């Protein structure tokens, strides 16, 4: 799903773009690998695996235990602007704006990002093979003559 909108009020303008997906499942192989309590003496493990018995060598075996809901809603982009009409001689408009990308994500997914590879050889598997999305902040000025 996607939803974009733009609002204006007097000299202000606000635009945003939400997107998301619902009903998909993700196999969180990264979480399974980091739940191996038998290797806890030499490797880090997840806090959620800390209560598993150290003798349980099968707690990290790939199973439906690590299948999670991949639904999410993300505020992908938002911009807030302010227009100055005829601020100087020979300048018709100056627009000051602030833009943010990847503002927030609402999800129940326990991995880094629910927006994983949905194609290729292994669709729907989070196997610690991508970087998380960065949040970008931008301040700008548009001048019209």
Residues 77-127 pLDDT 10s: 999 999 998 888 889 999 999 999 999 999 999 888 898 876 666 777 888
Average pLDDT of the residues of the chain = 88
Q: How far apart are CA 72 and CA 107, in angstroms?
A: 5
* Lowest model confidence (mean pLDDT) among 15-19, 22-26, 29-33, 136-140: 29-33
* Beta-carbon contacts of residue 95 (< 8 Å; ≥ 6 apart): 81, 82, 83, 84, 141, 142, 143, 144
Q: Give the angle 81-134-141 at the CA atoms, nearest 5°.
A: 25
Residue at token pair 């943010």: 100
Could you tell me the pLDDT band of residue 23, with boundaries at 50, 70 and 90? very high
pLDDT: which is higher, 60 or 101:
101
């Amino acid at each position: 799903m996607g939803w974009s909108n733009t609002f204006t009020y007097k000299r202000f303008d606000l635009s945003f773009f939400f997107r998301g997906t619902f009903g998909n499942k993700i196999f969180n192989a990264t979480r399974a690998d980091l739940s191996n309590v038998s290797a806890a003496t030499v490797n880090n493990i997840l806090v959620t695996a800390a209560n598993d018995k150290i003798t349980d060598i099968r707690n990290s075996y790939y199973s439906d235990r690590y299948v999670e809901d991949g639904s999410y809603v993300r505020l992908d982009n938002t911009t807030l602007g302010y227009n100055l009409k005829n601020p100087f001689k020979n300048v018709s408009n100056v627009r000051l704006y602030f833009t943010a990308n990847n503002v927030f994500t609402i999800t129940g997914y326990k991995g880094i990002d629910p927006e994983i590879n949905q194609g290729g050889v292994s669709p729907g598997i989070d196997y610690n093979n991508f970087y998380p999305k960065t949040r970008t902040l931008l301040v700008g000025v548009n001048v019209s003559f």
